[in-house]
Amino acid sequence: MNGYKVILASASPRRQQFFRDLDIDFEIRLKEVEEIYPPELKEVEITDFLAQLKADAFVDDIGDNEIIVTSDTIVWHQDKALGKPVDFNDAFDILSKLSASTHQVFTSVCFKSKHGSEVINEMTKVTFGSLTADEIRYYLNNHNPYDKAGAYGIQDWIGLVAVTKIEGSYANVMGMPTDKVYEYLSKFNRKNI
């Protein structure tokens, strides 16, 4: 990165693994941020707002040669944002709603430096086949989807048995549009030679 240090501000093990898989040299730096957004926001407006909000928490802590990378993902279904479930019953309810329907996954990524910030985003459509109550309970009892938007990980068992169609980026559903992140950082690197 020609003297720039990439700071990934995410506790998500999937996002951290993406950066390792992309061979991006990075450091993890975390800050607690209350993820509240204006109620009138919809779809990608929500993730854009939250990604920027997370980045803005670092406004006084960015070094001259640092790029802060923050991200947010939501599942959008029937005109409603589905975030991370709070408990088993909430997760069961979310997955019951996603069964036999199509939803959208929005992820926004904010890049912030001393010179400003920019947000990129991606949308992927995911279609689930029908899930029985027993299948949902099996998934919830044998996997840990409580840190995942929409109460599921597409890379988990449920992705193998329930996802019948995907339109767009698979990595985006896991929490980061890796192709766009790589492209952005590559362009940033070339601009700062």
Question: Which residues have CB under 8 Å from 53's CB, separation 6+?
Answer: 33, 35, 37
Residue 136 has pLDDT above 60, yes or no: yes
pLDDT band at 193 (very low <50, low <70, confident <90, very high): very low
Q: What does the domain layout of the chain look like in residue ranges?
A: 5-191
Cβ-count burial 59-74 (b if 16+ within 10 Å, e if not): eeebeeebbbbbbbbb
Using DSSP's 3-state secondary structure scheme, residue 10 falls into coil
| CATH code linked to domain 5-191 | 3.90.950.10
Amino acid letter, 62: I
pTM for this predicted structure: 0.92
Catalytic site positions? 72
